[in-house]
């Protein structure tokens, strides 16, 4: 059985230097994937994962475990993503929240006849995520792709849990809406107009996933879905969207980045040993 993060950190503090490489290698693919989807540029993502791993290597001995190691690493990676974004903008200072909205971003458009193919659905998901404004993209990536809890996402983004969930509900609804036309016809939500009795089922289901609705409201939602085909299909399409997010492949760190990181770690090890 592979050692846990805590065991590797303990080994590192005992002076077992190989533990550092094992820790960083374990988390590097997720950090690269996050950087790639936030920066939307492979070269920037290479810089982000390299800078994140080296910053973590320098600070790992001061890591006290108040949060999970992955949360700490995503916090570092996000700071480098922000720096990349600021460097690319012509304005003096801009945060991720200031980026223009989805209407000004590219999105993937695929021929409707090909929408059922799984690789094309994956490309559609990539486009849908990329089209989100960064303040929504990052919550969806951290929660639904990387699997952090809402509380951990809040810690990374320095937001309240309520703010994270509010952004997350909107992000999920937007991505689900963009994916609708790419789903097989049997899985697409009905175009029939909602009745006065129909709730905002997409928002409600997203709240259900986050344990925000009580047993009584949950039971009412289930009864309505059982009796309303339109809302049932809308709910199913959001389930499919979340499943696709969870199934996103890990980002394989490019070999040249791995070489540079290993070289830098070796130099750091020499400095600490000298």
* 2-57 confidence digits (pLDDT tens): 899 999 998 988 888 889 989 999 999 999 999 999 998 999 999 999 999 999 99
pLDDT at 122: 85
Whether 115 shows a pLDDT value over 60: the answer reads no
What is d(CA 221, CA 204) in angstroms, rounded to the nearest whole number?
8
pTM of the prediction? 0.83
pLDDT at 250: 82
pLDDT at 241: 92
What is d(CA 44, CA 35) in angstroms, rounded to the nearest whole number?
8
What is d(CA 154, CA 139) in angstroms, rounded to the nearest whole number?
9
User: What residues does each domain of the chain span?
Assistant: 5-273
Helix (H, G, I), strand (E, B) or coil at 242: helix
Which of 59-63, 119-123, 206-210 shows the highest mean pLDDT? 206-210
The confidence band for 186, taking pLDDT boundaries of 50, 70 and 90, is low
The confidence band for 192, taking pLDDT boundaries of 50, 70 and 90, is low
Alpha helices by DSSP H, 60-190: 69-88, 118-130, 134-140, 150-157, 161-179
């Amino acid at each position: 059985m592979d050692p846990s993060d805590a065991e590797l950190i303990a080994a590192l503090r005992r002076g077992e230097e190989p533990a550092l490489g094992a820790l960083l290698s374990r988390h590097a693919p997720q950090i690269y994937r996050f950087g790639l989807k936030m920066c939307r540029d492979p070269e920037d993502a290479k810089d982000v994962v390299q800078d994140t791993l080296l910053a973590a290597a320098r600070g790992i001995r001061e890591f006290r475990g108040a949060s999970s190691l992955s949360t700490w690493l995503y916090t570092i990676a996000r700071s480098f993503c922000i720096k990349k974004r600021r460097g690319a903008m012509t304005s003096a200072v801009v945060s991720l929240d200031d980026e223009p909205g989805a209407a000004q971003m590219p999105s993937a458009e695929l021929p409707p006849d090909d929408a059922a193919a799984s690789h094309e659905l994956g490309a559609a998901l990539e486009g849908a995520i990329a089209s989100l404004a960064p303040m929504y993209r990052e919550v969806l990536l951290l929660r639904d792709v990387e699997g952090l809890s809402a509380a951990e996402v809040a810690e990374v983004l320095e937001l309240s849990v309520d703010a994270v969930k509010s952004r997350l509900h909107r992000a999920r609804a937007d991505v689900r809406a963009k994916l609708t036309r790419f789903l097989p016809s049997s899985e697409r939500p009905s175009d029939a107009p909602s009745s006065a009795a129909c709730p905002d089922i997409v928002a409600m289901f997203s709240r259900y996933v986050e344990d925000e609705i009580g047993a009584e409201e949950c039971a009412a939602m289930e009864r309505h879905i059982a009796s309303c085909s339109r809302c049932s299909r809308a709910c199913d399409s959001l389930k499919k969207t979340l499943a696709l997010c969870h199934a996103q492949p890990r980002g394989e760190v490019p070999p040249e980045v791995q070489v540079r990181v290993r070289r830098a770690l070796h130099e750091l090890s020499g400095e600490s040993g000298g």
